[in-house]
Structure 1
Amino acid sequence: MKLSRILATAARVLNQVRHDHRTLALLLLVPALLVGLVAWIFTDTPVFARIGPAMIALFPFIVMFLVTSIATLRERRSGTLERLLSLPMGKADFILGYALAFGLLAIVQTGIAVGFAVWVAGLEVSGNVGLLFMVAIADALLGTALGLLASAFAHSEFQVVQFMPALVFPQILLGGIFLPREQLPAVLEAIGDVLPLSHAIDALTAVANGDTDAGYIWVRIGFIAAWIFGAIIIGSLTLRRRTP
């Protein structure tokens, strides 16, 4: 593993995305627009104030998962990864380069989504907006890492989509968006408590409501970070050179 190879991979990915205007729009604008749509739907009701933080967690997470997993899989299916690995480049260099590139895009995406939610859609934040931004970044990076993990196992773009019911939907259902986790059956509550999206939703909601201290938030960020590092490590170990 070498920093120069990681940076070169990240620069190549960012250059590709820069020329793909549709993907760039999907990454940067769609999460903010979806948050705005939810706010519009619940105009003049207290609902958006309650679920707005969860929407900031949900939409960037899903978009980063989809774009990262499909883009990485395409590199393998086209033979690009096989050619790169014939050079002095390891799987870890490739995965970390992709993680860095999409991580930078996730930061920009999060800034747009959080800014739109707070200053355009009118989401009230009683806590620190900077801390809200930090949690949202961790959440978007989580989507990136799980997307990299899914791409290591998938054989086609269709299979990537099939990973959503396994890796994404359970986190949405058990994350406390539809029903507080403490009201779920005990087994489902326990499962929800170990899923990272639950902690992102909890932390974003806590910051928005201003009802907890920074230590609580940083513990949640640390938990999400552990999932991110674990997904990247497993993805780099299981990545195949090429998908037939």
Structure 2
Amino acid sequence: MNLHIYAAGTTRILRQLRADHRTVAMILLVPSLLMVLLYFLYQDFPTAPGAPPLFDRVAVSMLGILPFVVMFLITSIAMQRERSSGTLERLLTTPMSKLDLLAGYATAFSLAAILQSLLACAVVFGALGLSTEGSPAWVLLIAVLGAVLGVAIGLLCSAFARTEFQAVQFMPVVVVPQLFLCGLLVPRNQMPDWLHAVSNVMPLSYAVDALSQISAAPSVTGQFFTDVAVVLAFTVAALCAAAATLRRRTP
């Protein structure tokens, strides 16, 4: 990697994002608005005496899931747009390497993801009154990691798509199974053994597991840090795989 080229590429992408007001609005506002919708959905839902409100149980997990989904979708489409417009091919004829390009994208969209997660956590913990046994700072950390993971996997999937429509088609293949098996709908320890084994190779499972631990315990455990390490490992692996599979020429 060339740090000067990487910094210039990151700045270029941030400028493009700033000029695209709709994309900025989607990145920053959609997770927060969906959390508000979830709050009103569960506001009057009855709960057993002594049990936490259903919103509290679901919202913690959604703070890791929604940023992941939004950033996956936006990143995969944005990268594919660079390819279809010919910008990607022109960039790769310069001294910019594939790793410079992908690292710039990952950094720019990760900065947007941090703002997204900060806003979502501020809305949920401030305006909507979400409470957890653990510190909200740990929830924010996992929300950011989930969003960055979405960026990395979005970049990887975009390398295999030839059009923006194909990039969107990866969502039901890559994202939806993770939503089903991450533990949000059914606890992972109650799944059939083969589904539990499949969930073990899906990174979103570890993000949701980490958030569940924060929700239930006042202090972090070794398992929490293991979950964080696994999410980080998946993120790095996805970025490396994206760099290895990125085509220099537009089909």
Please report the TM-score for the alignment, with normalisation by the length of structure 2: 0.94
Partner residue in 2 for 1:58 = 65
Contact 1:149 1:232 in 2 (8 A): yes
CA RMSD of aligned residues (A): 1.2
Whether 1:147 and 2:151 are equivalent positions in the alignment is no
Deviation at 1:3, TM superposition (A): 1.1
Deviation at 1:40, TM superposition (A): 1.1
* Aligned pairs (5 A) from 1:83-162: 83-162=90-169
The gaps in structure 1 that reach 5 residues or longer are none
Contact 1:77 1:242 in 2 (8 A): no
Q: Distance in 2 between matches of 1:27 and 1:75?
A: 18
Partner residue in 1 for 2:12 = 12
Deviation at 1:130, TM superposition (A): 1.1
What are the Cα deviations for residues 116-167 of structure 1, in whole angstroms up to 9, with x where unaligned? Answer: 1111122112211111111111111000000000111111111111111221
Q: Distance in 2 between matches of 1:125 and 1:47?
A: 12
Whether 1:232 and 2:236 are equivalent positions in the alignment is no
The sequence identity of aligned pairs, in percent, is 45
Partner residue in 1 for 2:32 = 32
Q: Aligned in 2, Cα 1:211/1:191: closer, same or farther, shift over 3 Å? A: farther
Contact 1:99 1:145 in 2 (8 A): yes
Deviation at 1:214, TM superposition (A): 4.0
- The aligned amino acid for 1:35 is M
What are the Cα deviations for residues 18-57 of structure 1, in whole angstroms up to 9, with x where unaligned? Answer: 0111000000111111011101110033211111111111
Q: Aligned in 2, Cα 1:169/1:195: closer, same or farther, shift over 3 Å? A: same
Deviation at 1:211, TM superposition (A): 5.5
Q: Distance in 2 between matches of 1:64 and 1:95?
A: 15
Aligned length: 244
Aligned counterpart in structure 2 of residue 193 of structure 1, from 200, 203, 210: 200
Contact 1:76 1:241 in 2 (8 A): no
Deviation at 1:175, TM superposition (A): 0.6
The gaps in structure 2 that reach 5 residues or longer are 46-52
Please report the TM-score for the alignment, with normalisation by the length of structure 1: 0.96
